[in-house]
Every structure is written in structure tokens, then in C-alpha cells.
Amino acid sequence: MFEKSPKSYTDLLGKTNRIVEGTTITGDIISPADFRLDGHLIGNFQSKGKIVIGPAGSVKGDIICKNADIEGTFEGKIQVQEILNVKSKSHIIGEVICGKLSVEPGAEFSASCVMKPHVKNLPNNGQPTEEKSA
């Protein structure tokens, strides 16, 4: 009568993927869960969750995600469905598409920026689709 759909493995654990400082990954990462990067990624990243680039972390490539916090270095194109938080010690160079943007004083933000408050999803081709009003 009251059947609940089983939760995925990542939902049950409530954990975040993590790449530690000193690690370098060359290639693309696709993750359904949240992700914390304190190492270096040379490649693209895609997630249905949140990415956190720590103070020692860096990404050189494109990012597509739901939410993002950047404390380290990012160079490329980032597409954030909801909120992008740019911390005071971060360095961002490239192109930004997001729903909402928060930039702390002291951040280096050298990017073109488009804010689309009604971004519904960000498909692989990189073109956001807007929600339609009923």
C-alpha cells in the first residue's frame, strides 16, 4: 500500500566523493553525487549534485552541475543550474552560466557571466533550456 522506492546507494550513505590534495586527474568525471576536489582536474566534470573546489583545488575544463562552491582555481566554462558561490580566495577565468551568483570580496573573477534564474536543466550540448510558465 505504501511502497517507497528504494534509495540509491549514494543517498543511503549521504557521502561526498573526494579527490585529495596532491592528486591530479586527466580526463572527464561524471558523478551523480556531490563532489569535493582538493586536487587537480584537467578535463570536464558533470554532476547532478554539488561540486566544491577547495582552496588547493583546480579545474581546467568545463563543469556542468546543480550547485558549486569555488575556493580554488577554475579555468573554462561552468554551467550551474542553481547557485554558484565564489569564495574570496578563488580565481575564475572563462565563461559562467548560472541561476544565481554569489561572489565574495577578494575573488578574482575574470569571466563572462550570464544569469538565468529559470534554468530548468543543462543538457550536454551546453544550451540551457528555460522553464515554461503554466
Cα–Cα distance measured from residue 51 to residue 16, given in angstroms and rounded to the nearest whole number: 9
Which residues, in sequence order, are CB contacts of 126 under 8 Å at separation 6+? 62, 64, 77, 79
Q: Look at the alpha carbons of 22, 106, 42, 48 in this order and tell me if their dihedral is positive or negative.
A: positive
Please tell me which residue, 54 or 117, carries the higher pLDDT value.
54
Please tell me which residue, 128 or 73, carries the higher pLDDT value.
73
Residue 22 backbone zone (phi > 0: left; psi -120 to 50: alpha; other: beta)? left
Pick the closest to residue 57 from 34, 41, 79, 76 (CA basis). 41
Looking from the CA of 6 toward its CB, the CA atoms found within 13 Å total 3
Which pLDDT score is estimated for 133?
Answer: 44
- Residue 22, pLDDT > 90, answer yes
pLDDT in tens, 61-70: 999 999 999 9
Q: Provide the H-helix boundaries in 1-134.
A: 9-13
